[in-house]
Amino acid sequence: MFFSSRQLDIIELAKSEGKVSVDDLASRFSVTAQTIRKDLNDLCEARALTRIHGGAIFPSSTENVKYEARRLIAATEKQAIGQAAAELIPSKSSLFINIGTTTEAVGEALVDHQELMVITNNINVANRLRIFPGIEVVIAGGVVRGTDGGIVGEAAVDFIRQFKVDYAVIGVSAIDKDGALLDYDFREVKVAQAIIANARHVILVSDSSKFDRTAPVRIGHLSQVHTFITDHCPLDSVKVICKENDVRLIETERSQAQN
* pLDDT digit string, tens, across residues 155-174: 999 999 999 999 999 999 99
- Report the SS3 class of residue 9: helix
* pLDDT digit string, tens, across residues 114-134: 999 999 999 999 999 999 999
Q: Pick from 33, 34, 194: which is nearest to 98 by CA?
A: 194
**Domains defined for the chain, CATH in brackets:** 5-59 (1.10.10.10), 74-258 (3.40.50.1360)
Residues 242, 226: Cα–Cα separation, whole Å = 9
Query: Strands 150-152, 94-97: parallel, antiparallel or unpaired by DSSP?
Result: unpaired
DSSP string, 180-233: EEEES-HHHHHHHHHHHHTEEEEEEE--GGGGG---SEEEEEGGG-SEEEES--
Residues 250, 252: Cα–Cα separation, whole Å = 6
Predicted local confidence at residue 62, as pLDDT: 46
Q: Pick from 52, 35, 42, 59: which is nearest to 3 by CA?
A: 42
CA 113 to the chain's CA centroid = 22
Q: Please, what sign has the CA dihedral across residues 70, 75, 77, 78?
A: positive
Provide the mean pLDDT of the chain. 89
* pLDDT digit string, tens, across residues 83-95: 999 999 999 999 9
**CA atoms within 13 Å, Cβ hemisphere of 170:** 34
Does residue 71 surpass a pLDDT of 80? no
